[in-house]
Structure 1
Amino acid sequence: MTLILTPGSATLAQLHDIWSGRQPVALHPSSHVGITAAAALVKKAANGGEAVYGVNTGFGKLASVKIATKDVATLQRNLILSHCCGVGDALDEATTRLMMALKLLSLGRGASGAAMTTVTLIEGMLAKGVTPVIPSQGSVGASGDLAPLAHMAAAMIGEGEAMFQGVHMDAGTALGKAGLTPIVLGAKEGLALINGTQFSTACALVGLWGAWRNAATSVLTCALSTDAIMGSTAPLQDAIHTLRGHAGQIAVARAQRALMAGSVIRESHRDGDTRVQDPYCIRCQPQVTGAAMDLLHFAGRTLETEANAVTDNPLVLVAEGLIVSGGNFHAEPVGFAADQIAVAVSEIGAIAQRRVALMVDPTLSFDLPPFLTPNPGLNSGLMIAEVTTAALMSENKHLANPCTTDSTPTSANQEDHVSMAAHAARRLLRMNANLNVILGVEAMCGVQGIEFRAPLQTSPALCAAMSTLRAEVPTIVEDRYLAPSIVAAAALVESGALAHAVDLPPFVKGHAE
């Protein structure tokens, strides 16, 4: 079934559906009037005598060079070919399709001047599964994601490369096999396609969804860790968190309290426990991960706004009869959102790693065996799994350094402040992958620790999560080749399967699904 998008009103849920599926995508017919009107205004300007940037002039520092009417189509084609300078690994197909849908939304606002034939081709490529091959490096996140979007536009004119039915081929062949015809770009159309933040925004959205899955999973893994060390649930009392008032903190405390409800392990040490307080990594989980969730919600609102925005230049203001240069292509909002997501991902991992360290340390884990092995000394258990989490935590701390503060001038100083949003967004993939492992190892430790508390049982909810993990990761009785178990645990985190094993409230799940 075709997913119909209304420009200006697309939701994060719709965008997630595009990314996670392969259904056709099309603009609501109500957008066609505005698209056609803007294209007509551009055509009129192209045939006029006045210089209009992007229509009959050069680009960037060459904006003062007037282009003859007969060369307007060549100008747009040259623009695309010359800007295909991306390098690095290709963007995955799912994120590329999301990027294409975001471009549709932008063009559909009727302020870009692209013809309906251009819009229709993008819809056709999404429907038939022709996916341009987009190198992932080369954008500085201002004047648009020029290089990545140029590779998309190149495929639309039959140049460059594309994927079709799982096969990498030249784009012209892919279009032909799909029964589609390359377009000839009209005035401003090439610029409308490559000026914009769609690459950065698509990557940031994927980073956001990965961060939400990890944030939600970390509430579960912390509950497992808390019961494993026989930690207290007193710090989860609602009054503590409502007194402070932060929505994320309140939601995390309530969710973790619900997950641990009915735990016999918890009730077994409610009276007579000589410990007064648990370490911060247990006691302050609502405050830390809750704050991260608040940040993710804020970033989500920013990215939803950007997904519905017109971000090319110049803009075609049909009501005013004007084509006006502006700066909506500058991806600072996306860069800021990506930097915020990175900080949240780093901190979720930092506190989770300390829980891993706590559980493997016999001096702190309340009588759990060293490194969670029943025969320590002969066996090392989860000793080096904890070291791996420390390595990944440190890497994420480094990657969390802000990217938006690292502007550099480009294009002969015409584009003298850039956002670095593309880099800010792309690094989230690596950070989330690292956090998948940290949380996977925490789950392994938490489940192993709870098993040592037998015959005492944890809560019904946590038993369900333990069963999900144990279906893929057997109990560690004697030392074994452990890497496959870590990979399996991380995969359960990445897929959301571990979080799905329990019932989490909507705020905690956020935009993870």
Structure 2
Amino acid sequence: MITLEGHSLTLEDVKHVLYDQEKVQASKESWECVSKSRQAVENVVNEGKTVYGINTGFGKMSDVLIEKGDVEELQLNLIRSHACGVGEPFPEIVSRAMVLLRANALLKGYSGVRKQLIEKLLVLLNEHVHPVVPQQGSLGASGDLAPLSHLALVLIGEGEVFYKGERMPTMKAFGTVGLTPITLTAKEGLALINGTQAMTAVGVVSYLEAEKLALQTEATASITMEGLRGIIDAFDEDIHFARGYPEQVDVAERMRRYLDGSNLITRQGEIRVQDAYSLRCIPQVHGATWQTLNYVKSKLEIEINAATDNPLIFEGGQKIISGGNFHGQPIALAMDFLGIAVAELANISERRIERLVNPQLNDLPAFLSAKPGLESGAMIMQYSAASLVSENKTLAHPASVDSIPSSANQEDHVSMGTIAARHAMQIIANTRRVVAIEMICALQASEFRGVQHMAPRTQRIYRKGREVVQSITKDRAFSKDIESVALWMKQGNWDSILHPVSKEKQFI
């Protein structure tokens, strides 16, 4: 059970809730904070004070005062009018993350919502009722208004949800799990949608996938090293300590561990003096990606515990301040950076694929074909990798450098952070397929060299890989193989491969 209180949620906690179906609860202390901030909102309404979002219009209409009897209709109208998302829905895992992060933010006690509203969010998580949220339509300030409005629709019994693998009207799922809709009261609609939880949810899922993919890319590159009889000296720790980047040092160390005991790797001067950059510079290039991942992780771990709606309530209601914490610029920049960094993993992977299949660059059968000439082997797999790499380059154009004014120019600078996060997620999916192609080619090249000569760890990966994709003994439609390996990389349990308990136990 993960306990939420708005301040200490970690990416590891999020991972358990998203992928291990861990249940959630709120801390006693957080409920006390929620109660105090809610009382402040009710005082504003009862005393007739003018406070943005509680008894005023929104955006450019913030100067319009709303009568006390209309505050509930104000919140309902807000949710319905702002539910303008379009396009395909976010993956269900992202929708689940959005609900988790929204609940955690509201539990900080700065938002003025009732306990009942947050309890509904927690029930959605624990019962696995996930809102259907269209991917497109957010500017990333005033937060993710359109996506989060679709989340809020579910709380009032409208919209659609995913439940037990089926997309259905919200009330159908509510009837199954025994939930009833909630009537939004003062400020609650605004508190639900004025935040960065859509872009941050995509960012968290993308980061977790990117972290796993980066490790898998090193494992794959190690097999490529064996298939091409690469030079191990380039991973000597003295080289990497001499430069000083810890992430580079770590990549080199992991590469040495993968290749420990291999009879296929070579020493400088044994076959050639130096390898091409795509082999020799693996620690430098992959290490730079890890630097970016660390940066992105630090920003996400702040944002998943951030109060990002407006206005915020402090000092038991003595201070209610309008600000701009909903602005997604920190996450927008981080997501652009993440997309660029992962795209580089694909770039260098595709160059290793070329070295594996090009007979002018190696001494292997042309295109790893069993019958070169009669059969094309892996020739067109490299084409697919090149296409994905090229697509990544267009997706890596930073979204955060763009801004379009909205709400009659009241909201005159926006982050486009959700676009950045969506592009990063697509880049990760593309890169996974590129690395899957490298894995297929590397397995085949090492097989030509002799599996018995591989390192113990890479032999283990080889055996696991051959359960997913067969050897290339003749031409076949390789599309299914690529997708099968990519799915194995995304959903398979790689812990024993990527994180062995000990050197003695890793091959049991």
TM-score after normalising by structure 1: 0.95
Is the 8 Å Cα contact of residues 80 and 153 (structure 1) preserved in structure 2? yes
Deviation string for 1:216-268 (max 9, x for gaps)?
Answer: 111111111111111100010001101111111000000001110111112xx
Q: Which residue of 1 aligns with 2:150?
A: 151
Is the 8 Å Cα contact of residues 468 and 498 (structure 1) preserved in structure 2? no
Q: Which of 241, 263, 270 does residue 267 from structure 2 map onto?
A: 270
Q: CA deviation at 1:101?
A: 0.8
Q: Residues of 2 paired with 1:476 and 1:452: CA distance?
A: 10
Q: Does 1:330 align with 2:318?
A: no
Q: Which residue of 1 aligns with 2:253?
A: 254
Greater Cα shift, 197-206 or 158-167: 158-167
Is the 8 Å Cα contact of residues 469 and 498 (structure 1) preserved in structure 2? no
Q: Which of 463, 466, 475 does residue 467 from structure 1 map onto?
A: 463
Q: What's the Cα RMSD here? A: 1.7
Q: Residues of 2 paired with 1:160 and 1:214: CA distance?
A: 34
Q: Residues of 1 paired with 2:498 and 2:214: CA distance?
A: 14
Q: Residues of 1 paired with 2:76 and 2:347: CA distance?
A: 48
Q: CA deviation at 1:114?
A: 0.5
Letter in 1 for 2:297: G
TM-score after normalising by structure 2: 0.96
Is the 8 Å Cα contact of residues 37 and 316 (structure 2) preserved in structure 1? no
Q: Which residue of 2 aligns with 1:291?
A: 288
Q: CA deviation at 1:163?
A: 2.8
Matches within 5 A, 1:123-272: 123-266=122-265, 269-270=266-267
Q: Which of 306, 311, 316 does residue 303 from structure 2 map onto?
A: 306
Q: CA deviation at 1:493?
A: 1.9
Q: Residues of 2 paired with 1:260 and 1:146: CA distance?
A: 49
Deviation string for 1:112-158 (max 9, x for gaps)?
Answer: 00011111111122222322211111111100100111111111111
Q: CA deviation at 1:454?
A: 2.6
Q: Residues of 1 paired with 2:7 and 2:451: CA distance?
A: 57
Cα gap change, 1:493 to 1:362, in 2 (>3 Å) = same
Letter in 1 for 2:299: T
Letter in 2 for 1:260: L
Q: Which residue of 1 aligns with 2:505?
A: none
Q: Which of 421, 432, 437 does residue 433 from structure 2 map onto?
A: 437
Q: CA deviation at 1:297?
A: 1.1
Q: Does 1:67 align with 2:63?
A: no
SS in 2 for 1:85: coil
Q: Residues of 1 paired with 2:451 and 2:310: CA distance?
A: 67
Q: Residues of 2 paired with 1:324 and 1:451: CA distance?
A: 65
Q: Does 1:344 align with 2:341?
A: yes
Letter in 1 for 2:402: D
* Runs of at least 4 residues off by over 4 Å: 496-500
Greater Cα shift, 426-435 or 26-35: 426-435
Is the 8 Å Cα contact of residues 213 and 496 (structure 1) preserved in structure 2? no
Letter in 2 for 1:121: K
Cα gap change, 1:306 to 1:96, in 2 (>3 Å) = same
Is the 8 Å Cα contact of residues 144 and 195 (structure 2) preserved in structure 1? yes
SS in 1 for 2:296: helix
SS in 1 for 2:390: helix
Q: CA deviation at 1:275?
A: 1.5
Cα gap change, 1:301 to 1:271, in 2 (>3 Å) = closer
Q: Does 1:28 align with 2:24?
A: no
Q: CA deviation at 1:430?
A: 1.7
Q: Residues of 1 paired with 2:425 and 2:11: CA distance?
A: 18
Q: CA deviation at 1:320?
A: 6.2
Cα gap change, 1:469 to 1:274, in 2 (>3 Å) = closer
Letter in 2 for 1:376: P
Q: Which residue of 1 aligns with 2:376?
A: 380
Matches within 5 A, 1:7-86: 7-86=6-85
Q: Residues of 1 paired with 2:243 and 2:267: CA distance?
A: 25
Is the 8 Å Cα contact of residues 4 and 107 (structure 2) preserved in structure 1? no
SS in 2 for 1:26: strand
Deviation string for 1:306-340 (max 9, x for gaps)?
Answer: 00000000001134612110000001111111111
Cα gap change, 1:373 to 1:209, in 2 (>3 Å) = same
The alignment-based identity, stated in percent, is 40
Q: Residues of 1 paired with 2:86 and 2:48: CA distance?
A: 39
Q: CA deviation at 1:436?
A: 1.3
SS in 2 for 1:265: coil
Q: Which of 478, 485, 492 does residue 489 from structure 1 map onto?
A: 485
Gaps of 5+ in 1: 507-513
Greater Cα shift, 241-250 or 428-437: 428-437
Letter in 1 for 2:359: P
Letter in 1 for 2:80: L
Q: Residues of 2 paired with 1:455 and 1:389: CA distance?
A: 25
Is the 8 Å Cα contact of residues 7 and 27 (structure 1) preserved in structure 2? no
Q: Residues of 1 paired with 2:143 and 2:293: CA distance?
A: 24
